[in-house]
Amino acid sequence: MNLVLFRLSEVDLPLPRRDPRAQHILKVLRRGPGDSFDAGLLNGPRGKGTLVSVHVEHLSLAFAWGEPPPPLCPLVLLIGLPRPQTARDILREATALGVSALHFIRTERGEPGYAGSTLWRSGAWEEYLISGAAQAGCTRLPEVTHGRSLLETIESLPAGATRFALDNYEARAALTTCNLSGCRSAVLALGAERGWAAVERRLLRQSGFTLVSLGERVLRTETACIAAIALLKARLGWI
C-alpha cells in the first residue's frame, strides 16, 4: 500500500483501529501522533494525512489535499468472465496499470455461474480496485461492469478507439508488431478461459477488432491481460 485511500464520506470521521488502514499507518508506516503519510481521496486528489492522535478504539486524522490526479490511460478492457480468483487478480493489477474501464462479459464458452459469484453479488470487487490503486499510488478507479453480453458491451463502447482482440487460433498479427499509427485510445478484448467461439470472432471482426496474439505461448487469462496492457502502454508511450 503506497497510498492510503479514503472515501469522501470518511475523511471527517475517526478511523477505527481494526481498519486495515489504521494498522498500516501504525505498524507498517510506524507513524505516531504528529506524523504525516501519503493519502488520497478516491477519484479525487492526492495529499498528506496527519495522525493527530491515537485512541484505544480509533485514530484521529487530518488531511491536506493537493491537485486533482491526471486522467486514466485511454485503454478499455473486455474480458470473458473468468473464475472469481482470476477476476480478483485482474481487477487489482489492471487498476494498478491505470486502465480506464473493465468490462467482464458473458461469452459462449464461459462458465455461466461465474457472473453470480460472491465477488460480484457482494460488491467485494471494488476492494480489489482500491488495492490496485493504493499499490500504484493513484486515486482514480476504472469503470467496471459485469454480466453483459459481448454484443451489448461492444455497442456501448465509444467510437474512434483502435480495437484489438487476443486470439490464439486465428490471429494474423502479433500485438508486438501490429499497426498502431494514429491510435489515441484502445480497446482490448480477451475471451473466456476456453477462448472465443466462432460466432464471437465473427462479431469482433464485424465490429472493427483486429485479432492479435501474444506469441506462441498459451498464457493464463490474468497473465495475458497484464502482458497485453503493459505491451500496449509501452508501444503507445502511455507509461
Instruction: Report whether 95 contacts 143 (CB < 8 A).
Output: no
Whether 107 and 162 share a structural domain: yes
Instruction: Report whether 129 contacts 87 (CB < 8 A).
Output: no
Tell me which DSSP letter residue 121 carries. H
pLDDT of residue 238: 86
**Residue finishing a domain among 48, 65, 82:** 65
Q: Give the CATH number, domain containing residue 175.
A: 3.40.1280.10
Tell me how many domains the chain contains: 2
User: What DSSP string describes 109-127?
Assistant: TS-GGGGGSHHHHSSTHHH
Which domain, by its residues, includes 53? 4-65
Tell which residue, 31, 69, 71, has the closest CA to residue 52.
31
Q: Give the CATH number, domain containing residue 22.
A: 2.40.240.20
Whether 79 and 43 share a structural domain: no
**Strand pairing partners for 9?**
none
Helix axes 84-96, 221-236, angle to 10 degrees: 20
**Residue finishing a domain among 15, 39, 65:** 65
- Per-residue pLDDT tens over the stretch 176-231: 988 888 899 999 999 988 899 999 999 999 999 999 999 888 889 999 999 999 99
On average, the pLDDT of the chain sits at 94
Band (pLDDT 50/70/90 cuts) for residue 239 is: confident
Which whole number is the average pLDDT over 5-24?
A: 96
Whether 54 and 91 share a structural domain: no
Whether 77 and 49 share a structural domain: no
Whether 208 and 101 share a structural domain: yes
Whether 45 and 99 share a structural domain: no
- Per-residue pLDDT tens over the stretch 22-80: 999 999 999 999 999 999 999 999 999 999 999 999 999 999 999 888 999 999 999 99
Whether 101 and 51 share a structural domain: no
Whether 163 and 226 share a structural domain: yes
CA 65 – CA 139 distance, rounded (Å): 12
